[in-house]
Amino acid sequence: MDKSFYYSVDRSLVGQYRSMLELMKIPYVVETPVALLKDGANQVVIVFPNMPVKLYGMVRKLFKKDGLPYHK
């Protein structure tokens, strides 16, 4: 999957997001970032490929904000 953007979310919310994304048939990957500090150790990132604007709008509405660019 060509990674385009992501959202950082609390680990406890991943199950809810997975359920919604699978219902909407939106491709994604969950990654655990390397946490060097205690802050952010409870976070994971949900990564998405480049997608049509209409589909991105659905993802944006789910997360209630714009995604952040995924830097390789």
pLDDT exceeds 70 at position 39: no
Return d(Cα 12, Cα 9) in angstroms, integer.
8
Q: Residue 10: which residues within 8 A CB-CB, separation 6 or more?
A: 42, 43
H or E element: which one contains 60? helix 53-63
59 close to 65: Cβ distance less than 8 angstroms:
no
Q: State what percent of residues in the chain have pLDDT above 70.
A: 90
pTM: 0.87
Q: Which domain holds residue 52?
A: 3-69
Q: What is the mean pLDDT of residues 14-24?
A: 96
- Number of folded domains that form the chain: 1
What's at 45, amino acid-wise? V
pLDDT at 6: 96
